[in-house]
């Protein structure tokens, strides 16, 4: 058993008002490899909301196979906060930096976090990839739990056939959605 660390945790206490609720935004925090869970827990100890979606994978060892829980986005944790708390979050051991585009912290839209939650909650089979796909038909899901979600139809030699991109992470989620639930968006509507 490891001895407990002598560590003082500073807890951020804030009163949630309608105005402060609007100011909270989701950001992607890059973590050290395999430090996602520890960083996620320490962010929550600060009193800051964080989200680390989990997926289950079947792992093969030399003597057995076992289902293990792994982060959906390796080396990333989503943090819902304001920029005044960035420094406190970055002081956590294992936190590397907040994702930026054009020297600005990249805001992850609430709708994208909600989409990720739907994928995890509905146990939809998925694949997270940093691959860039060839542009294909723009589609909208017309039925099921993802109704209204726009994406790109992809032709891969796997079971996944719709790709939803999270531009701020430069990653995509490929889902298996029945073709009957997908409809092509007319080109003039995609602009």
Q: How is domain 121-191 classified at the architecture level of CATH? A: Roll (2.30)
Contact partners, residue 53, CB within 8 Å, separation at least 6: 71, 72, 73, 116, 117, 119, 120
Q: How confident is the model at residue 134 (pLDDT cuts 50, 70, 90)?
A: very low
Percent of the chain with pLDDT over 90: 38
183 neighbors 147 (Cβ within 8 angstroms): no
Least Cα distance to 34 among 89, 1, 76, 88 occurs for 76
Averaged pLDDT of the chain: 80
Residue bearing the bigger pLDDT, 4 or 68: 68
169 neighbors 73 (Cβ within 8 angstroms): yes
Which among 29-33, 62-66, 134-138, 165-169 has the top mean pLDDT? 29-33
Q: What is the mean pLDDT of residues 48-55?
A: 94
Give the range among 104-118, 130-144, 146-160 with minimum mean pLDDT. 130-144
Contacts within 8 Å (CB) and 24+ apart, 187-191: 187/138, 190/138
Q: Where are the domains of the chain?
A: 9-108, 121-191
Question: What are 126's two structure tokens?
Answer: 């998925």
Fold for domain 9-108? Alpha-Beta Plaits (3.30.70)
């Amino acid at each position: 058993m490891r001895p407990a660390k002598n560590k003082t945790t500073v807890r951020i206490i804030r009163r949630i008002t309608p105005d402060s609720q609007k100011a909270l935004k989701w950001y992607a925090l890059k973590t050290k490899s395999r430090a996602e869970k520890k960083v996620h827990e320490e962010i929550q100890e600060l009193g800051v909301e964080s989200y680390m979606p989990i997926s289950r994978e079947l792992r093969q060892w030399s003597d057995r196979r076992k289902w293990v829980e792994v982060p959906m986005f390796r080396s990333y944790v989503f943090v819902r906060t304001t920029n005044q708390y960035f420094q406190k979050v970055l002081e956590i051991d294992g936190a590397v930096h907040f994702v930026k585009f054009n020297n600005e912290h990249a805001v992850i839209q609430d709708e994208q976090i909600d989409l990720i939650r739907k994928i995890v909650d509905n146990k939809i089979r998925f694949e997270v990839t940093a691959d860039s796909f060839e542009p294909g038909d723009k589609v909208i899901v017309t039925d099921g739990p993802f109704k209204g979600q726009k994406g790109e139809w992809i032709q891969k030699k796997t079971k996944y056939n719709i790709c939803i991109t999270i531009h701020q992470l430069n990653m995509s989620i490929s889902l298996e959605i029945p073709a009957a639930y997908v409809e092509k968006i007319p080109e003039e509507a995609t602009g």
